[in-house]
Amino acid sequence: MALDLKANNISFSYGTHWVLQDISFEVSAGDFLGIIGPNGSGKSTLIKLLDGVLTPQQGDIQLSGVKLTDLTRREIARRIAVVSPGLWLNFSVNVQQLVLMGRYPHLGNLRFEGKRDYRIAREAMALTDVSDLAHRYFHELSGGERQRVLLAKALVQQPELLLLDEPTVYLDINHTVDFFDLIKKMNREQGLTVVVVSHDINLAADYADRIVLLNQGRIFRQGFPYEVITAEHIHTIYGKKVLVDTNPTTSKPRVTLFSDLLSRLTKEGVNNQPA
């Protein structure tokens, strides 16, 4: 059945106050959705709700018409994979073992990996450029290396939907572009559906086809990047003046931070390079 993930008016609280309220949106097969919003606006919580790790107190989330609460972890994991920064393991497991764990939802009752599982793991590790790390301990890797290993683990799950929570915070610019290019390619060529949370508005605008902008636990706007990412919206939500023009290489909105201080110094010639 074609993938369709629907959040129907969900609200969630960790206890005392609502962290998310009245959230409704839909992700269909082949979508590439970006979720942006200030720190604490509820982005990571929303990812956990979409993966069924947390359950909303109000409303429900349906995966192809079935409530997430009516599915087992394994049933969800066959269709949805997550890369989230919370996944820092501290026990000694090497990279190849960890990546193979991604096959778990697909293994038979005996739960042994076969040749095919090893092949899928090797291919995913090559795609994410971690083949050389296969025999290293996961907990000894750098943040960026771990992030690429976790992507490999998510890919061997062969999900229809990939949920990514700030996947590139630890990555260099070259690995950031490689990471997003790989995801975009799988989105275009294999129909992989992607939901990515990013604090980098420009990255989200460049790669996502649609954007959800969260503010204080509510959807402030959702739509095409040019509809959501405007200087006025950014100013309203982040309280900062920005310039928004068009990225000449992607034709997507591009946000440039604006600092009164730097602007003044530059005008005075203080901030310029020597002629």
Site for ligand ADP in 9-28 (CB under 6 A): 14, 19
Does 167 interact with ligand ADP (rule: CB under 6 A)?
A: no
Does 34 interact with ligand ADP (rule: CB under 6 A)?
A: no
Does 56 interact with ligand ADP (rule: CB under 6 A)?
A: no
Does 44 interact with ligand ADP (rule: CB under 6 A)?
A: yes
The nearer residue to Mg ion, 124 or 214, going by C-beta atoms, is 214
Residues 198, 203: Cα–Cα separation, whole Å = 8
DSSP per-residue letters across 20-75: EEEEEEEEETT-EEEEE--TTSSHHHHHHHHTTSS--SEEEEEETTEEGGGS-HHH
* Burial (Cβ within 10 Å: 0-12, 13-18, ≥19) of residue 184: middle
The nearer residue to Mg ion, 43 or 103, going by C-beta atoms, is 43
112 is written with which tokens?
Answer: 């042994």
Residues 248, 7: Cα–Cα separation, whole Å = 34
39 touches, from ligand ADP, Mg ion, none (C-beta below 5 to 8 Å by class): ligand ADP
The least distance separating ligand ADP from the CB of residue 11, rounded to whole angstroms, comes to 13
The nearer residue to ligand ADP, 136 or 233, going by C-beta atoms, is 233
Q: Which of 21, 45, 96, 168 touches ligand ADP by CB under 6 A? A: 45
Look up residue 205 and give its amino acid: A
The nearer residue to ligand ADP, 42 or 105, going by C-beta atoms, is 42
Does 40 interact with ligand ADP (rule: CB under 6 A)?
A: yes
φ/ψ of 224, rounded to 5, equals: -70, 150
Does 43 interact with ligand ADP (rule: CB under 6 A)?
A: yes
